Structure 1
Amino acid sequence: MTTKAPALFLMGPTATGKTKLAIEMVQRYPFEIVSVDSTMVYKGMDIGSAKPSAAELAQAPHRLINICELDDIYSAGRFCEDALQAIQEIQLAGKIPLLVGGTMLYYRSLEFGLAEMPQADAETKQRLQQEMAQLGSVLMHRRLAEVDAESAKRIHPNDPQRISRALEVYAATGIPLAEYHQLQKHTELPFQPVKLGLMCHQRAELHQRIELRFQQMMAAGFLDEVKSFFDNSRFHGGLPAMRSVGYRQLCQHLAGETSIQEAVAKGIIATRQLAKRQMTWLRSWPDLICVDAMSEDYAVQAIKLLNQTPIADYW
């Protein structure tokens, strides 16, 4: 029987009320929040990331929010280092770590580990960059499918960064990237994860929530937020921060590629696609305790279920 103190993973697709539930739980129980969101780490990306307001953060401080400049590159590996440190500090203070957010890769990396990715030499990287610029991502995706079919299935033909990365690994080693993902480094966690998933089985209702929230973001000044980055010469569309859902589509509008109506429509569609991917991750997650996020009493359900876990011994 384990003697490790628990940490709660509060997971779920976008627009299911994760942040609201987390703040309610902090007010009732000895939790401290650690954000698990690849966009909220960036300073200034507030509206489009649905970052908690200043008032909410005063009520329930979140670790790993506003820790990066917009031109920083924040990785899953860096998240694991930061999260483990935060979890240790929270536990030493006698509280329960509550990890909340929708970046499933971060959760997966923290729980199951990261494979060590080989690095291609500078000449190989430059050659692949030139070929990507000349041939385009669709043709390069076909090339990837010839040498690494599994990775090609997971990577969209319009995702040049991930296509290039997979081709770099193969060029450097002759081994498909997919094989490295099967060679994960499993290190024993210093805590016991208790995983709570806010699930949504009514797709139409979730889609309505996503559309409403996106329109609310636009009314709150989302376009002005993106414009403040877009007008700064330090930033460009290739930065990880600017590839975030919603931000990417509004950048395309500001670049004159789409109308604002098209950008909003594309942003809503991209957010729905993100939610679908998040649900796919969650359906295959081991030992996940599921709550219907569309239920009016989902918070009550969540507490009842957590009372049957090791968490209950610590609150």
Structure 2
Amino acid sequence: MTKFLISIVGPTAIGKTALSIKLAQHFNTDIISADSRQFFKEMQIGTAAPSKEELAAAKHHFIHHKSIQDNYNVGAFERDAITLLNKLFKEQNIVIMVGGSGLYVDAVTKGLDDFPDLDASIREKLNLELETKGLPYLQEQLKQLDKEAYNTIAIDNPHRVIRALEVSIGTGQPYSSFLNKSKGKRNFKTISVGLTADRDIIYNRINQRVDLMVKEGLLDEVENLLPYQNLNALNTVGYKELFNYFNGAWDLDFAISEIKKNTRRFAKRQLTWFRKNESIFWFDYTVNIQTVLDRLESRIQ
């Protein structure tokens, strides 16, 4: 029988976790998280990781299975996720995957893009420019060399920006031109379900979630991570803004407003990424679970 991976995508704070649990319970199956921020066990509140109750409601994988001090990237995740799927599909015909990290979702469903070997001196030069001239300088450089990559990658992530620049400079071709080439086939079919809403609703849900995170103890979580603030895993929304607060650069109200603003920008990039995939079945975030199930059952059969 054909094996199916049901991939649930959409912007942050839209309700993907709740839908994934309902689907996992209906199909009596497991959930794979493709949210790269939720891999790290030290980052619970600021990543909106599933609660203990949610984790108990369905079997989850790739939640808090790594430390912020571990070197874990999308290539390692692809390998681990495919190994797990091969195991799960021996006993189940359907598995659920949920997450808003577009690159990590695509790594599982499509495979990673193949890039040529590059001169290591290019990355060294870009790292030096990051230190001396700052991220905005590199962002502008990428905008000139590859407008498509500039508009679609996580532009606030220096590692992603440097990678795109490294490929563009080292090959003389845009980074984006290497994406979505022919890749290895998967032994399962993917059905992608997207949740969305009007922009004002998404932004309001994000603002409410940030306020809830603060109420639940986000400041204590970030303060405990201050000794590790230079680690790559912590160079992310919700943490880097509060590091600026604890380091005396910003006041608290401004730091929280920046978390909201940067999370809204992140949601916009997520939608830009996922809307490139024309095979996604989009639903309003208020959709009745039966409506989603009817669409899935018709596709599976």
Could you say whether these structures have the same fold, taking a TM-score greater than 0.5 normalized by the shorter chain as the test? Answer: yes
Match of 2:199 among 203, 210, 228: 203
Cα distance in 1, alignment partners of residues 171 and 119 from structure 2? 11
Mark the CA change 1:127 to 1:31 in structure 2 (over 3 Å): closer, same or farther.
same
Q: What TM-score, normalized by structure 2, do the two folds share? A: 0.90
Which letter does structure 1 place at the counterpart of 2:126? Answer: L
Cα distance in 1, alignment partners of residues 155 and 81 from structure 2? 32
Q: Which residue of 2 aligns with 1:175?
A: 173
- Find the residue that maps to 1:94 and give its secondary structure: coil
Mark the CA change 1:158 to 1:81 in structure 2 (over 3 Å): closer, same or farther.
closer
Q: Which residue of 2 aligns with 1:21?
A: 19
- Find the residue that maps to 2:259 and give its secondary structure: helix
Match of 1:286 among 275, 278, 297: 278
- Find the residue that maps to 2:68 and give its secondary structure: coil
Identify unmatched segments of 5+ residues in structure 2: none
Mark the CA change 1:117 to 1:256 in structure 2 (over 3 Å): closer, same or farther.
farther
Match of 1:300 among 281, 287, 290: 290
Q: Which residue of 2 aligns with 1:258?
A: 250
Mark the CA change 1:143 to 1:34 in structure 2 (over 3 Å): closer, same or farther.
closer
Mark the CA change 1:144 to 1:276 in structure 2 (over 3 Å): closer, same or farther.
closer
Contact 2:23/2:96 (<8 A) preserved? no
Which letter does structure 2 place at the counterpart of 1:203? Answer: R
Give a deviation string over 1:211-262, Cα, whole Å, max 9, x none. 11111111100111111111x3xx233x332122212212221222211111
Mark the CA change 1:105 to 1:300 in structure 2 (over 3 Å): closer, same or farther.
same
Contact 2:152/2:273 (<8 A) preserved? no
Contact 2:135/2:158 (<8 A) preserved? yes
Give a deviation string over 1:12-65, Cα, whole Å, max 9, x none. 211111111222222332221001101111112111111112232122121111
Q: Which residue of 2 aligns with 1:116?
A: 114
Cα distance in 1, alignment partners of residues 37 and 203 from structure 2? 21
- Find the residue that maps to 1:169 and give its secondary structure: helix
Q: What TM-score, normalized by structure 1, do the two folds share? A: 0.86
- How many residues are aligned here? 301
Q: Structure 2 matches for 1:53-68, cutoff 5 A?
A: 53-68=51-66
Q: Which residue of 1 aligns with 2:269?
A: 277
Cα distance, 1:193 vs. partner? Answer: 0.6
Cα distance in 2, alignment partners of residues 241 and 156 from structure 1? 14
Q: Which residue of 2 aligns with 1:37?
A: 35
Cα distance, 1:270 vs. partner? Answer: 1.3
1:190 is aligned to 2:187: yes
Cα distance, 1:150 vs. partner? Answer: 4.2
Mark the CA change 1:174 to 1:280 in structure 2 (over 3 Å): closer, same or farther.
closer
Q: Percent identity?
A: 31
Q: Which residue of 2 aligns with 1:221?
A: 217
Cα distance in 1, alignment partners of residues 247 and 151 from structure 2? 30
Which letter does structure 2 place at the counterpart of 1:304? Answer: D
Q: What is the root-mean-square deviation of aligned Cα atoms in Å?
A: 2.3
Identify unmatched segments of 5+ residues in structure 1: none
Cα distance in 1, alignment partners of residues 124 and 172 from structure 2? 18
Q: Which residue of 2 aligns with 1:6?
A: 4
Q: Which residue of 2 aligns with 1:138?
A: 136
Cα distance, 1:154 vs. partner? Answer: 4.6
